Amino acid sequence: MDESLIPVLSALAGSAIGALASFVSTWITQISQARAARRMHDRARREELYGEFISEASRLFVDAFEHELEDPAKLVHLYAIVSTIRLFGSPATLLEAEKVMTQIGATYFAPNKDVRLFAEIAPAGDLDPLFAFSKACRDELKIARS
């Protein structure tokens, strides 16, 4: 082998290794960025879903407090949200959502109450059906943040 080829081959090998290292580094960076973007999107989707559940459940709970269930179709949207939580939420969050749904159903079938009682009982903590659900959501989203 000609000794003049050694520096040329060394330079080519060094260039190839440098190019490969650059390619691998870029590839790993892109994978990490894509993973982080997916996590952020998933978290945002769950935040929106849980917010929608809280709004709908709150509305239905107040309605159930003073009305009987005349139209079961009122509950369809809440059932749809809970089903979506089954797809994306943690088991703890789903369990609490199902408890809220059950409590709303029980409230609809309980005797109607005067709305003024709602204001008196709420500070005592007896009428916060969403407290445990909100805590489960907060715990789940805290885990998703890390």
Under DSSP, is residue 128 helix (H, G, I), strand (E, B) or coil?
A: coil
Domain layout of the chain by residue ranges? 42-145
Mean predicted confidence (pLDDT) in 130-134? 88
**What's phi and psi for 129, nearest 5 deg?**
-70, -15
CA-CA-CA-CA dihedral for 35, 40, 46, 50, to nearest 10: 160
Q: Kindly report, residue by residue over 102-128, the tens digit of the pLDDT.
A: 999 888 888 877 766 666 655 545 567
Output the pTM of the full model.
Answer: 0.74
Is 141 in contact with 43 (CB distance < 8 Å)?
Answer: yes
Q: Kindly report, residue by residue over 3-17, the tens digit of the pLDDT.
A: 878 888 888 888 888
